[in-house]
Chain A
């Protein structure tokens, strides 16, 4: 057991060290891309807590990402808050919203849960548009560069931005790693695998699912707030349906229910779009084919397949 723990711990620590080292060698374009990927990977990891570990197939996670994005963005833009307190409030906003949505949506399961979460997210998207006087609706807001600081750290600086994204990513990765190995994590997996049996063993499904949804939403909101603060833009596109679909695709591609799968999914999808765009304007077709092939030949996602075939100790 100790050996297993060491192997998985070493792997995850190694990924963080690798990302740290990449900061010094990545060419500028890929440097910023990697900061963006790490930020969005936090969103994907949050989604993975709900979907991958707990089996909650949500189609509404754009709501939680956008709640963090707008909470931080509006507090900075209109309230004159600095980045760190605004980021903290974004976590509360995301968690609070998930509590509210979860109490209602978790009364349903399966397809009904997908539809209810989709409707909540659509309501959130329309709210952003309706409150255009403050949110600037579809056009969005550009956060002033002067407000994008933490103490003396200038978040518009490429190196600072990379390390902030890495710090957030590392915390999220560590959190997911510990959750996956914790007793709570095992109960979440049990809920995914067999709710009735879990209930029979004395675990309250609503309580555990709500816990998973809130954790998932807080991570999504953290990613949203970080995206706004690090990249300077807050817009309604991030509240739209596509940002509910993206985390699902990232997680499916990388491997649902694996700690590193979401990061791998974001990484591959980002570069698939980027490289395919150099070859053809039908780059979304390329992405679609890649996803179909994944479903056909690696239905558990890339790391899920690796775990099933070669590395059973992978969390």
Chain B
């Protein structure tokens, strides 16, 4: 069954669009009582598992701001089923043990109806078992393939962001057709890097290309000089996906390695530089290189009204930094997932006529029945396709080139580019 989520929300969306246009609708609606039913209804409480501290803190800061902005829009447009919505943020320290405790605290002690917002894969993996035992919907924003791989259970869903497997698969054709067919991959030598190694290598091979060298970097390395000579001279594309504080060192040493001489085309994941100013000293070498971006950090000329509205609502300038502080760079390629997940929660709750935690299974079933998700204010990154069997959403990806201190989108993939065979059918599992 195909469900178009927002078909029944034309009035609400019209109101929001009116707000964007700056029309008089705002003044007209602002004076109306928004929660007529809410006067007798408890707020819906959503728990947010937040990486406020620990290695995910840069993401967490912007995830919290994005969620807060989305909540404002959600409540201004009537909440969920006419009830106001609250988000309770709880720091998990980006730690899997604490993550499990936080899920329980939010669900049991704070009486949250669902828990969402988790980014780091190891926190998701550490927390998901407890969410399943508590039978509380757990909506993650992590990009990990762990949801669609079948490693989890029926209570964990990822409706707001695509997974790594889909991302690399959808970009491989453009990379091989436009940058080169002989690829060398540089990646961290653990699970995150191995996912890229496995999925991207397979995708390149499927396109008739070849990964001629895998350069795995041990996770404790702080200098990469001795690994760079392993890049074969006939490399046409250098694919890098480093993470953590070593990223800046990696990029700088890569620049020193090639100097002003010829170099291969370079393609990387913006994960490497989220929350980092690409005009920072030492990153000049990035000029002319390409990046994957889930959501373009710099405002593009053809940006949709949805995008403009979302950017303004969260408080982000045209360069992808805080409107209040240009030095505070966002995690723009990922944080849209929080915004979109919140509205996905709203739509599934309304479809399930959610009232109490007893309706949680109906909520999950409602989300599983979703397929098409049109681009909208609620989904500013673009249209998506949700696979209820695998609990994973699929969407567009962007490839950008660095030029003159900004990133310009040169290619946007289609949703179909990122689809792959189902590896699990969660709908067959019991609640």
Q: A29-B109, A132-B191 are in contact. Are A281 and B91 (CB under 8 A)?
A: yes
Q: Does A231 contact B (CB under 8 A)?
A: yes
- At the interface, yes or no: A143 with Cβ under 8 Å from chain B? yes
**A233: B residues at CB distance < 8 A:** 96, 100, 125-126, 129
Taking CB atoms and an 8 Å cut-off, the chain A residues in 269-283 that contact chain B are 273-274, 277, 281, 283
CA separation between A36 and B219, bound complex, in Å?
30
Q: Does A27 contact B (CB under 8 A)?
A: yes
Q: A132-B190, A235-B96 are in contact. Are A143 and B53 (CB under 8 A)?
A: no
Does B305 sit at the interface, judged by CB under 8 A?
no
| List of A residues within 8 angstroms of B53 by Cβ | 281, 283-284
Q: Are A274 and B220 in contact (CB under 8 A)?
A: no
Shortest distance between the CB of B234 and any CB in chain A (Å): 29
Report B-chain residues with C-beta under 8 Å of the C-beta of A140: 96, 122, 125-126
A204 within 8 A of B: no
- Contact residues on B (Cβ < 8 Å of other chain), bracket: 35 or more
Give the interface segment out of B145-153, B308-316, B356-364: B145-153
Do B129 and A143 touch (CB < 8 A)? Answer: yes
Given contacts A142-B151, A237-B95, A281-B53, contact A137 B126 (CB under 8 A): no
In the complex, 15 of the A-B residue pairs with CB atoms within 8 angstroms, ordered by the A residue number, are: A27-B109, A32-B108, A36-B101, A126-B220, A129-B219, A132-B194, A133-B194, A139-B192, A140-B122, A142-B125, A156-B129, A231-B129, A235-B125, A235-B126, A284-B53
A138-181 contact mask (Cβ, 8 Å, vs B): 1 or 0: 11111101000000000010100000000000000000000000
Q: What are the 10 closest A-B residue pairs judged by CB atoms, nearest first?
A: A232-B129, A137-B191, A137-B190, A29-B109, A139-B191, A129-B190, A29-B108, A139-B121, A28-B108, A233-B126
**In the complex, residue of chain B having the shortest beta-carbon distance to the beta carbon of A28:** B108
> Which chain A residues border B219 with CB–CB below 8 Å?
126, 129, 138
Contact flags A250-284 to B (C-beta < 8 A → 1, else 0)? 00000000000000000000000110010001011
Question: Is B240's beta carbon under 8 Å from chain A?
Answer: no
Return chain A residues, CB-CB under 8 Å to B365.
none
The residues of B that contact A126 with a CB separation of less than 8 Å are 218-220
Tell me the bound Cα distance from A145 to B152 in angstroms: 10
> Which B residues touch A283, using CB under 8 A?
53, 91
Which residues 269-287 of B have a CB within 8 angstroms of A? none
Let me know if A137 and B52 touch, CB within 8 A.
no
Alpha-carbon gap, A228 to B122, bound state (A): 14
Complex Cα distance, B153 from A29, in Å, reads 21
Q: Which residues of A sit under 8 angstroms from B97, Cβ to Cβ?
A: 36, 237-238
Assess whether B105 is interfacial by the CB under 8 Å rule: yes
Decide yes or no: A139 and B144 within 8 Å by CB, A129-B219, A233-B96, A235-B126 being known contacts: yes
Kindly list chain B residues whose C-beta atoms are within 8 Å of the C-beta of A158. 133
Chain A residues proximal to chain B, CB less than 8 Å: 27-29, 32-33, 36, 126, 129-130, 132-133, 136-143, 145, 156, 158, 231-233, 235-238, 273-274, 277, 281, 283-284
Q: Is the CB of B86 closer than 8 A to any CB of chain A?
A: no
Which chain A residues border B288 with CB–CB below 8 Å?
A: none
Contact B105 A138 (CB under 8 A): no
CA distance A232 to B219 in the complex (A): 26
Residue of B91, B152, B190 most packed against chain A (CB within 10 A):
B190
A223, chain B: closest CB distance, angstroms: 12
B128 within 8 A of A: yes
Which residues of chain B in 64-103 are interfacial with respect to chain A, using CB atoms and an 8 Å cutoff?
90-91, 93, 95-98, 100-101
Quick check: is B265 within 8 A (CB to CB) of the other chain?
A: no
- B contact set with A: CB distance below 8 Å: 52-53, 90-91, 93, 95-98, 100-101, 104-105, 108-109, 121-122, 125-126, 128-130, 132-133, 144, 146, 151-153, 189-192, 194, 218-220
A24 to B167, CA, bound (A): 49
**B146 and A145 contacting across the interface, CB-CB below 8 Å:** no
- Knowing A232-B129, A235-B126, A277-B90 touch, does A142 contact B152 (C-beta < 8 A)? yes
What is the bound-complex CA distance between A284 and B57, given in angstroms? 14
Across-interface contacts of B100 in A (CB, < 8 A): 231, 233
Please name the residue on chain B nearest to A140 by beta carbon.
B125
Known contacts: A29-B105, A126-B219, A130-B189. The answer to whether A145 contacts B96 by CB under 8 A is no
* Residues in B neighbouring A156, C-beta threshold 8 A: 129, 133
A71 to chain B, nearest CB (A): 19
Task: Other than A142-B146, A273-B98, A281-B52, give 8 A-B pairs with Cβ distance below 8 A.
Answer: A27-B108, A137-B194, A139-B125, A139-B146, A140-B122, A145-B153, A232-B133, A233-B129
Q: Are the C-beta atoms of B191 and A136 separated by less than 8 Å?
A: yes
**Residues on A with beta carbons closer than 8 Å to the beta carbon of B144:** 139
- The residue of chain B having its C-beta at the shortest distance from the C-beta of A158 within the complex is B133
B224 to chain A, nearest CB (A): 17
What distance in Å separates the Cβ of B315 from its nearest Cβ neighbour in chain A? 20
Separation in Å of the B407 CB from the closest CB of chain A?
28
B146 CB contacts on chain A under 8 angstroms: 139, 142
Residue among A129, A139, A235 having the largest count of chain B Cβ atoms under 10 Å: A139
- The CA of A238 and the CA of B93, in the complex, are separated in Å by 14
State the CA gap A154–B398 with chains docked (Å). Answer: 46
Instruction: Report the separation of the CA atoms of residues A158 and B134 in the bound assembly, to the nearest whole angstrom.
Output: 10
Contacts A126-B218, A136-B191, A284-B53; A142 near B104 (Cβ below 8 A) = no
A136 to B108 Cα, complex, angstroms: 30
For residue A274, which residues in chain B have a CB less than 8 angstroms away from its CB?
A: 101, 105
CB distance from B207 to the nearest CB of A (A): 25
A32 proximity list for chain B (CB < 8 A): 101, 104, 108, 130
Report the Cα distance A200→B121, complex, angstroms: 55
Taken together as a complex, chains A and B put the C-alpha atoms of A181 and B289 apart, in Å, by: 68
Partner of B128, one of A133, A142, A236: A142
A140 to B101, CA, bound (A): 17
* Bound Cα distance A283, B91 (Å): 10
Q: In whole Å, how far is B58's beta carbon from the nearest beta carbon of chain A?
A: 14
- In angstroms, Cα B189 to Cα A273, docked, is 32
